[in-house]
């Protein structure tokens, strides 16, 4: 997402970059914008984390019948549930005036809940380490051009997920069904619907290029370990829009691209809907998403590393460093003590090798993050099985809530 001004990001790239795809140029609000002519604006009571709705999210939509991939049928049945989102930010436009950002979203409940990206409805990612602020006003435009005001329920910066809500009495709502991102396979066809460059209700098709990609969340200092990669053309303004499978079920929220130009070049990434659903449920219930954290930096053990460092196991997560004062440090987990070059890569050797968590095998660094952040909660005690000095040791660790900065001492 971009907003107007010298700090607008993602459009000029002389080297490989990761770019937001959510924003339109910020404008001073007035009749020159066209979209706001004769519109009564309503200030959003932007609920920050901890101040969200307590209502349940009901999803009554059903998947399409049949096994073939029919983009026309997907568009015909699902586009009414895809919306364009306009967010207004005071002090983020030309001359520190009002800035406008445009992205996409989709209705997930007849009660009016809409999923999108956090960077569409907040200033997240605009400036490194800057405090995140919610948009002062949010508007939703439906496929028929009608508009409604929205309130911000909450946002999850770690997973770049945001939830807003409209009054069901303001417009007929067509919710879309949510699928299971854990069942997504490479090569399956997908369809993306959104508003690239403000061109509402646009359809793009492609395939899933990869699954379980580890990519940096553009709104936090952590990685998203299960991102879905697609070659479906995704551009600025698509942020927050749905990625559908052949059954017309949402499997991901389109969030970012990897590009040399800032525009679509065949490498887009979507937030998996399973993690987005988890975020949404917590945001609706409490306005905040809680992640567990252990406080280690790890590297996936490969056969070449295992051979070079003489590990008995051939898979796992090598602990390279432990954050001082973290749960890992308090539990006595060990990081690497010496730097070794293996097949052209620097590896910090000598640390514990995590091979299981609560008895479940750990085969990679992503496995460790996936279990801790997705299945466990702060305050819970987990048991890591590690290989240390050739022996298997079970280490109990009391998890805490994930901090904004993973490397800061605690």
Q: pLDDT tens-digit profile of 361-370?
A: 999 999 999 9
Percentage, residues of the chain above pLDDT 90: 68
Give 221's pLDDT tier (boundaries 50, 70, 90).
very high
| pLDDT beyond 80 at 273 | yes
Phi-psi group of 381: left, alpha or beta (phi > 0 → left; psi -120 to 50 → alpha; rest → beta): beta
Exactly one of 160, 174, 226, 352 is catalytic; name it: 160
Report how far residue 173's alpha carbon sits from residue 82's, in angstroms, rounded to the nearest whole number: 10
Output the pLDDT for position 409: 78
Exactly one of 4, 92, 119, 171 is catalytic; name it: 119
Query: pLDDT digit string (tens) for 142-201?
Result: 999 999 999 999 999 999 999 999 999 999 999 999 999 999 999 999 999 999 999 999
Output the pLDDT for position 402: 95
Tell me which long-range contacts 302-308 makes (C-beta under 8 A, separation of at least 24). 304/342, 304/343, 305/342, 305/343, 305/347, 308/340, 308/342, 308/343, 308/347
77 counts as catalytic: no
Residue 254: name the closest of 85, 126, 244, 209 by CA: 244
Exactly one of 201, 239, 275, 373 is catalytic; name it: 239
Report how far residue 172's alpha carbon sits from residue 170's, in angstroms, rounded to the nearest whole number: 7
Strand partners, 103: 85
For 219-232, what is the mean pLDDT? Answer: 93
Output the pLDDT for position 262: 63
Report how far residue 138's alpha carbon sits from residue 68's, in angstroms, rounded to the nearest whole number: 37
79 counts as catalytic: no
410 counts as catalytic: no
Task: Please tell me the least confidently modeled range out of 9-13, 19-23, 62-66.
Answer: 9-13
């Amino acid at each position: 997402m971009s907003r107007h001004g010298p700090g607008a990001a993602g459009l000029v790239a002389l080297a490989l970059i990761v770019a937001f795809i959510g924003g339109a140029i910020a404008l001073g609000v007035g009749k020159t914008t066209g979209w706001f002519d004769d519109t009564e604006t309503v200030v959003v009571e932007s609920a920050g984390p901890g101040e969200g709705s307590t209502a349940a999210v009901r999803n009554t939509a059903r998947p399409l019948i049949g096994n073939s991939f029919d983009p026309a049928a997907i568009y015909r049945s699902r586009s009414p549930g895809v919306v364009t989102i306009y967010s207004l930010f005071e002090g983020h436009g030309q001359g520190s005036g009002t800035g406008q950002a445009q992205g996409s979203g989709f209705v997930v409940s007849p009660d009016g809940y809409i999923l999108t990206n956090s960077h569409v409805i907040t200033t997240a990612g605009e400036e490194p380490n800057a405090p995140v602020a919610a948009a002062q006003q949010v508007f939703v435009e439906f496929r028929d051009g009608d508009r409604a005001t929205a309130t911000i329920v909450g946002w999850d910066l770690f997973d770049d997920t945001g939830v807003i809500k409209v009054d069901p009495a303001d417009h007929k709502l067509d919710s879309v069904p949510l699928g299971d991102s854990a069942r997504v396979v490479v090569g399956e066809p997908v369809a993306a619907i959104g508003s690239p460059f403000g061109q509402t209700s646009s359809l793009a098709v492609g395939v899933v290029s990869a699954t379980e990609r580890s990519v940096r969340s553009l709104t936090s200092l952590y990685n998203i370990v299960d991102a879905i990669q697609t070659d479906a053309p995704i551009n600025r303004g698509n942020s927050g829009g749905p990625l559908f499978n052949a059954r017309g079920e949402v499997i991901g929220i389109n969030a970012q691209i990897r590009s040399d130009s800032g525009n679509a070049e065949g490498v887009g990434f979507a937030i998996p809907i399973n993690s987005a659903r988890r975020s949404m449920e917590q945001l609706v219930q409490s306005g905040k998403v809680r992640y567990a954290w252990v406080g280690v930096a790890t590297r996936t053990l490969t056969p070449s590393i295992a051979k070079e460092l003489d590990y008995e196991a051939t898979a796992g997560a090598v602990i390279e460093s432990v954050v001082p004062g973290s749960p890992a440090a308090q539990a006595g987990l060990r990081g690497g003590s010496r730097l070794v070059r293996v097949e052209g890569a620097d590896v910090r050797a000598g640390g514990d090798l995590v091979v299981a968590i609560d008895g479940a095998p750990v085969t990679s660094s992503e496995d460790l993050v996936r279990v801790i952040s997705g299945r466990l909660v702060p305050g819970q005690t987990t048991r890591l099985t590690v290989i240390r000095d050739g022996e298997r040791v079970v280490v109990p660790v009391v998890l805490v809530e994930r901090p904004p900065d993973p490397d800061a001492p605690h």
